[in-house]
């Protein structure tokens, strides 16, 4: 029996949307994406969030606040580059123009797009 290949899946969900940039609400959004990433990992796939790459670089580059020039120069652009390396994008959560952008870029780049984890085959 042929073993199925695990997918590298970008989890795209709200980061700032609906938070008024309140840190605790942003953290809750990131937590929701991290929890989904763990579920994908437990299903046998390799999850990734753009935030895992962007946030340390944003801090190192000297960003002073969410949405400043440094933040905007790194946050979405790095996630868009990351999609090149992914097999798929999973859109989670509520309204988010950024997460919708990741889906649209994924479509343009020919990636699989999932709207629910139930659409993703469990490998383990």
- In order of start, what are the domains of the chain with their CATH numbers? 8-119 (3.40.50.10400)
pTM of the model: 0.94
Can you tell me the distance from the alpha carbon of 56 to that of 59, in angstroms, rounded to the nearest whole number?
Answer: 5
Can you tell me the distance from the alpha carbon of 104 to that of 71, in angstroms, rounded to the nearest whole number?
Answer: 21
DSSP 41: H
Per-residue confidence in pLDDT tens, the chain, 124 aa: 567 899 999 999 999 999 999 999 999 999 999 999 999 999 999 999 999 999 999 999 999 999 999 999 999 999 999 999 999 999 999 999 999 999 999 999 999 999 999 999 999 7
């Amino acid at each position: 029996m042929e073993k199925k290949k695990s997918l590298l899946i970008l989890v795209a969900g709200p980061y700032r949307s609906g938070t008024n940039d309140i840190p605790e609400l942003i953290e809750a959004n990131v937590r929701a994406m991290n929890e989904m990433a763990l579920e994908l990992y437990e299903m046998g796939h390799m999850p990734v969030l753009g935030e895992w790459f962007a946030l340390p670089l944003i801090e190192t580059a000297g960003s002073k606040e969410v949405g400043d020039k440094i933040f905007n120069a790194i946050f979405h652009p790095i996630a868009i580059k990351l999609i090149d390396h992914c097999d798929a994008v999973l859109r989670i959560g509520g309204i988010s123009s950024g997460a919708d952008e990741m889906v649209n870029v994924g479509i343009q780049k020919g990636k699989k797009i999932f709207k629910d984890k139930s659409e993703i085959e469990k490998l383990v």
